[in-house]
A and B are shown apart, each in its own frame.
Chain A
Amino acid sequence: MYQVGNLVKELSDKHGHARESLMPILQAIVQKHNYLTDEAMVEVARELDISAAEVYGTASFYTFLDTQVKGKYVIRVCKTITCSMKGKSDIIQSIEEMLNIKVGETTPDNQFSLIETNCIGWCHKAPAILINDLPFTELTPEKVTEIIKDYMQK
């Protein structure tokens, strides 16, 4: 759990207090803290003068606006057809073994979360994953192991 502090106020001053600022504000919180806490969503509701249910309703609609604890690095493995055909399962297995977590879980030190996601637009270079915003493509179990190793040392 993180303390949201002044962040929501700073963000709503930057993006504005109108309803259309909701997505940019929620996205900025997720960029910084990887997921939305209840506290953060209540705070956003207060700043924008809308009900907390509206904020939660919007946030929970979007898969990238997580309302559950997520690690510092969120690994999203594409599971749509081409990635699935080109070895997505091997990639997942490598990551699972390396981090000792299953799909949907977060490491105990809150460094990594592993999830599956729908088409991320790299079918010509399948299999592909996103780690936070960055795409990694044409993966092999060896290649993905190296990538995760780099992230572990960050």
Chain B
Amino acid sequence: MENKGLNKVDLIFEKIDNHEVLAKGFKMSKDEIIQEILNSGLKGRGGAGFPTGMKWKFTSEAKSPEKYIVCNADEGEPGTFKDREILDRVSNKVHGGMAIAGKAIGAKKGIVYLRGEYRYLLPKLMIELDSFHKMIKKIGYDFEIEYRLGSGAYICGEESALFESIEGKRGEPRNKPPYPTVSGVYGKPTSINNVETLVTAMMIVQHGAKNFIQYGTKDSRGSKVFSVSGDTPTPGIFELELGMTVQQFVNEFGDGDTKAVQVGGASGFCVPRKKFAETIIGFEGVPTGGSMKLFNSSRSMYNVLHNYLEFFTEESCGQCTPCRVGCQQLLKGVEKVKKGEAKSTYLNELMKLADTMKIAAKCGLGQSVGNAFKSIVGNFKEEIIY
């Protein structure tokens, strides 16, 4: 197993000449851009980790006079706040990444879907977008970006729910296939990418895939912005090379008493102390959209799990039964076990329910509830029961 250790990187927030990078990108053919992104091995930075180059390739191959590049800025996963920081500090690179993606897939229109909780950023973003539009007009490139706002629904971070929301509907995920690359927003071929993915793609155009793959591991190329919170003396946003172990992460960010790290937010995995050394943060180990929450030994993992289950129960869109009822039953179930109203063996039934949700739920929300549930109950059973 490759292990790169903990290394700080400055790529996402690196100061660049936006005009120069874009001019370079626009000179490349769409196939050259896609090839460069494929060579870089870049995987989506929102959490799901789909290869970005493949997504762009599929969208570029779809036949339609109208296509869209959508930037997913509906950052709702508990514990992640890096997209807000990226938009706040380097929105020009987000817009630039969208324009380059637009060139690659053949889209003249971009839409940023910004979560309602970040509305306060909008006045500043509008000014920056205006100067971006002027700049690409000067380069002589036809591309336009529009901002749309969310209104407080975690599920709208799911790509097809996000499209529904843009179209003025309830944010209920669609059945797949068809995938967005064939039928996305307004039923047109769409590439939907996370804020950080678009910036990373732009930096790959700037530095070249060859330089990018120097960082990270075979399965997790490059670096990534991590949102660090919880029991840590240094909470905040840190760009780190991929491929470190949880132990190395804890050595840097822990408070000396870390008992568990929740990697990837409420929909991610809980790593207990005894597995810190063997667990790699990345697609070969525990994947993450950047959310890293540290818990020290003063914290009750029952409270953590209960908080996550309440979150999912409230944020489930209610459309499919496995998720709607499953979340409620997991929550009621752990409460019953805690109160002694159900035997501890009832947890085994709940584990099975979590497995069922993984198979039967319609979208990523319901499918991933089991990640936190199983890893917390599996590793901290005694805290859930007593």
Contacts and interface: CB of A to CB of B under 8 A. Distances in A.
Contact of B314 (A65, A84, A118): A118
Nearest to B116: A64
Contacts of B58: none
B293 A123 contact: yes
A120 B120 CA distance: 12
A148 interface: no
A111 interface: no
A102 B80 CA distance: 29
Nearest to A122: B81
Contact of A20 (B117, B153, B168, B304): B168
Interface in B122-167: 148-154, 165-167
Contacts, number: 117
Interface residues of A, number: 37
B269 interface: no
Contact residue range for chain B?
35 or more
A2 interface: no
Contacts of A21: 168
B51 interface: no
B84 interface: yes
A118 B229 contact: no
A5 to B, nearest CB: 23
A61 to B, nearest CB: 4
Nearest to B236: A124
Interface stretch (B7-15, B41-49, B70-78): B70-78
B315 interface: yes
B168 A81 contact: no
A126 interface: yes
Interface string A40-77: 00000000000000000110011111000000000000
Contact of A123 (B79, B307, B314): B79
B208 interface: no
Given A27-B116, A121-B76, 8 more contacts: A61-B153, A62-B152, A62-B153, A80-B311, A119-B79, A123-B81, A124-B235, A125-B235
Interface of B: 75-81, 84, 115-120, 148-154, 165-172, 186, 227-231, 235-237, 266, 293, 299, 303-304, 307-308, 311, 314-315, 317
Interface of A: 18-24, 26-27, 30, 57-58, 61-65, 79-82, 84-85, 117-126, 130, 133-135
